Amino acid sequence: MATEEIMHEGGCLCGAIRYKAVGDPVAVAICHCVNCQRNSGSAFSVNVIFPKQALTVEGAPAIYEDKGDTGEIVRRFFCGTCGTPLESRSVFSAPEHAVVKAGTFDHPECFVPDCETYCISAMPWWGKANDRTCYDRLNVDAIGEE
């Protein structure tokens, strides 16, 4: 008897972009980097990391390329109509992963962060949970190897 794979669905605020992610995420990480702070309009971003091939997208997201602290390109996918940030992909350090913004899932409550990255730039008032590993910068090993 075949087992049914877990399907997570989500999309942007206006509904122009919808996506599906199959299976369990590789990791769920809170990112405190300055670029994620600006991209999310918040103190941090909660990111759900899947193998790139697990994600299918309906609609045509706009893409903005920025550079992280390493100088590597990060492609940020967002809705060109409503502006919702949806996904990020590091072109060089983790191209095999899709980093989906947790708040865009239809049921984001099922994604509990297991680590935090760029804690060096976390807001001074942020209280990290005791059970999460906190990395000063990005730790690609924390998202696993596929």
Domains identified in the chain and CATH numbers: 17-140 (3.90.1590.10)
Mean pLDDT (whole number) for 59-63: 97
Beta strands in the chain (DSSP E): 7-11, 18-22, 27-31, 45-51, 55-58, 62-67, 73-78, 85-90, 97-101, 115-117, 133-134
For residue 80, pLDDT over 50 is answered with yes
Model pLDDT, residue 124: 93
pTM score, whole prediction = 0.87
Neighbours of 128 (CB within 10 A): 13
